[in-house]
Chains A and B, each alone.
Chain A
Amino acid sequence: DSGVTQTPKHLITATGQRVTLRCSPRSGDLSVYWYQQSLDQGLQFLIQYYNGEERAKGNILERFSAQQFPDLHSELNLSSLELGDSALYFCASSATLTGNTIYFGEGSWLTVV
């Protein structure tokens, strides 16, 4: 158990819909990261928040957004969903802004039909 908690574990939704994925980082970790793992793209960095502020952005679509709340949990919002958004979405956390040890949650498996 990495200490990073993600909900829901599985989600099936229709194209055009919006979903929210939730993440609680390890106790004491200030950085939260979101990664996407799809069949053809591997593990891709989406975005990082540190202590409530966005700090790094990767290959995140404009239809996707994230935020980190004062209690440090984070949400990833995916809207206008397309079939190609079906993937495993991982949250990860680290203690610091440039943490060298990054722990991953078990992922949220999103299927868009």
Chain B
Amino acid sequence: DQQVKQNSPSLSVQEGRISILNCDYTNSMFDYFLWYKKYPAEGPTFLISISSIKDKNEDGRFTVFLNKSAKHLSLHIVPSQPGDSAVYFCAAKETSGSRLTFGEGTQLTVNP
């Protein structure tokens, strides 16, 4: 049972435009969500997170939106840069717990 799903395996955008990566979850116990970026041959790098008490969190070019009723979150990158090209993983956890449940990842390619 895939509790966290990223339905788009890949996304391609032009430099300077907005990248929107989507993530859906099914477990209503999840109340903390994270986005990680991963380059080949490297570990996942923490990007941004959001608690279920918020519906938006912003950090520079990265904004995460959470729609609890739809069990959906999205990561917006504005403006997109070629260096943003990587695999992006959505992850979820219960605040009272420790384990992260990951989505399958979305390969973002930003074209110059």
Q: Which residues of A contact B (CB under 8 A)?
A: 2, 4, 31, 33, 35, 42-45, 48, 50, 55-56, 58, 90, 92, 94, 97-107, 109
Contact = CB atoms under 8 A, between A and B. Distances in A.
A92 B100 CA distance: 11
Contact of B98 (A44, A55, A109): A55
B95 A100 contact: yes
B43 A104 contact: yes
Contacts of B89: 43
A70 to B, nearest CB: 21
A98 B43 contact: no
Main secondary structure of the interface of A (DSSP, over half): strand
Given A42-B104, A42-B105, A43-B89, A2 B98 contact: no
A48 B43 contact: no
Contact of B43 (A4, A99, A100): A4
B49 A90 contact: no
Contacts of B99: 33, 45, 48, 56, 58
